[in-house]
Amino acid sequence: MRDSSKREKIFIGIGLLLIALGIILNEWLLVALLSPDGAIESSTRITIWLFNFSMILTGLSLIKYSNRIHAKLFREGGISLIMILAIGILLRIIVYIFLGPHNNDNHFGVVEFVAANGAFPTPDLFGQAYQPPLYYFIAAPLAMLGSPKIVQLLSLVFSIANLGLLYHLIKTTKLLGNMGARRHVLVLAGLLPQFVIFSNFVSNDSLAFLFGSFIFIQAFRYIDQPRRSNLLILALALGVALLVKGTFLAFLPVLIALVVVIQFRQKADLKHHLVALGMFASIALALGSYKYIENTVNYGKPFVGRDEMGHEWVALQQGTYQGLKSIVDVNVIKLARHPSLSEYTKHSLPLLLYGTFWYSHIPESNFQATRRYPLSLLPGAIYLLGVVPTLLIVLGAGTCLWRNKWPLESFKSPDTVFRLRLREAVVVLISLSILAVVVIWGLKHDAWGFFQGRMLFPAFFAIAIFLGIGYEVVCRWRPALGKLLNGLLFLTYALLSCYFIIEVGNHLV
């Protein structure tokens, strides 16, 4: 009872902190800090007031319902996971305040066009118009209210919602056996700079990351309860996701295979096989094929690249691939010496993916303080320490592959083992499929801008879960190494935290 009371007081304390933030970070203080001439747009004023109102309302809710929240969240324990989630949410709110709404892609231009014309532009008008349209139609009403900062608020909502889904997945997944691994996985989701930042831009990435996590949740539900209703929701989720980003084409063959395997496991007859498969494929493709049908009508083929639209930057980046050395060059020391994109790193596909996973190797935001010496030593240290969790991710993926080396044996296993192996197979195959799509699409254009770690983030749960599995494997193999791993991982998290402290602090000075 005493522990329960203490935990309820934690929520009351968080509520009071949020109320204080809502009061302290008011219009007058922020204008004094961020606007030298004291001028402020009406849209920015609205954004500040919305932020203050949401902070105060959330704080009051936490105080009033602290006992109910405690009963709900701590029914299965895990105070540390709750605290990591809260820190991750707070970090996203802080990043939203100081992060510029735009990255290197003109997503806001497409949103503005949709808001003004009620129609989606063609790729020859806007580079990002080659993307599926759903995000832009959702964001368009906010663009009518004013500045990009208001539209960026939508990405903040998607980012927090996605972290909530990842929290649910990580807390409940049967793929991990101990709480320590779950903590490390959730910390990665909460603190990884590129994941946080690209979730907060005006961009369809924020919605794509959210749908990626939801598809994993629904796929696992279908594995546990292979009912027609769960299959329908999975098909709808994939179809809508295809309207958000073409990357979800990588999910399609894996989920079709999942439906086939489950139907065989249930010993369904041919009619039920065809009905289930036909329902899934027809719903997903009917919903998600809009952009590809439009491309076929307008350009004679379903997939249209930016080089075919005459985008000059693609031609300027070509020559990235230089044969076998572009595949085998994994010299992370190059990244430590040259944290930002340079001739030393832009011809290595592994270094491009690694560099844009752990840090903004390609400059794309107003967070630029760590690009200048001596602060540029920080990303170099992140790259070097990032080798440890990266090796754990590779070990986790390899472990999942090894456990599923005999698919027929797994198929004949008891239900509990079969479902566990099937989850592992789904996670591995989706991550490999999306990696293959990114590499193939990048090689097609031969431009370094396509080899970015964020392209893999719709399958972020898979990447994070590999970290947890790799961590568990090492701890079981050599328990003494567990303490060393914890130390190295916590040092990595400390460096990631320092990145945000420096970049946000740079905007306060």
Residues 6+ apart with CB under 8 A from 401: 428
Q: In the predicted model, what is the mean pLDDT of residues 89-93?
A: 94
Helix axes 415-445, 387-403, angle to 10 degrees: 120
Chain segment 466-489, per-residue pLDDT in tens: 999 999 999 999 888 888 899 999
pLDDT on residue 290: 87
| Residue whose C-alpha is closest to residue 421's, from 400, 439, 396 | 400
Distance CA 398, CA 391 (A): 10
Residue 60 confidence (pLDDT) above 80: yes
- Nearest C-alpha neighbor of 167 from the set 260, 230, 76: 76
Residue 318 carries which DSSP code?
Answer: B
Distance CA 284, CA 91 (A): 35
Q: How many CB atoms lie within 10 A of CB 48?
A: 21
* Sign of the dihedral through C-alpha 58, 60, 63, 66: negative
Mean pLDDT of all residues belonging to the chain: 87
Say what the pLDDT of residue 55 is.
72
The residues spanned by each domain of the chain are 1-75, 164-201+311-509, 204-304
Angle of helix 148-172 relative to helix 79-98, nearest 10 degrees, comes to 160
Residue-wise pLDDT tens digits, 149-200: 999 999 999 999 999 999 999 999 999 998 999 999 999 999 999 999 999 9
Taking only the tens place, the pLDDT of each residue in 373-414 is: 888 899 999 999 999 999 999 999 999 999 999 988 888 889
pTM of the prediction?
0.85
